[in-house]
Amino acid sequence: MLKNIDPLLSPRLLEALRAMGHGDDICLVNANFPAEALATGRPLIRLDGLSMNQVANAIFSVLPLDSFVDQPLLRMEVVGQPQEMAPVQQEVLALARQHNTPDLQMGSLERFAFYEAARKAFVVVATGDRRPYGCFLVKKGVIFG
């Protein structure tokens, strides 16, 4: 056990977060996402018993978001309604704002563009959340000395 570290951050997940460099992406996905197929050649960390909110909150507690890009947090667009934000997306944005900056904006990618971007992520973290459109790309930032 470690002090001041969310216990949901498994040793493997902590290792991946620490190994990521500035500008690397972590892909957070729900239970419906084809994580096994798209994480080929990339680390896949399964947290099947946890919700997206639990996992996102734990990750945002230690991961700085990239301040050099306009949208370090991207969501998968709702098919046919790209402007709509699903409840899980609104919740993750609120958590990201809580841990980072209150004016943080979330960008979006069309479903198949999201899949392509996910293939390039440093690590894929699959949650047990069953809610649709609970899929995100988070770009790691830096901690200034």
CA–CA gap between residue 134 and residue 118 (Å, rounded):
13
Active-site entry in 6, 24, 99, 115: 115
Q: Is 79 left (phi over 0), alpha (psi -120 to 50) or beta?
A: beta
Active-site entry in 66, 70, 103, 129: 66
Q: Do residues 126 and 48 make contact, with C-beta atoms less than 8 angstroms apart?
A: yes
Residues written for the chain: 145
Strand residue runs (E) in 31-135: 44-47, 73-76, 106-109, 123-127
Q: 103 an active-site residue?
A: no
Q: 99 an active-site residue?
A: no
Q: 22 an active-site residue?
A: yes
Give the torsion sign (CA, 69, 130, 40, 37).
Answer: negative
Residues with catalytic roles: 22, 66, 115
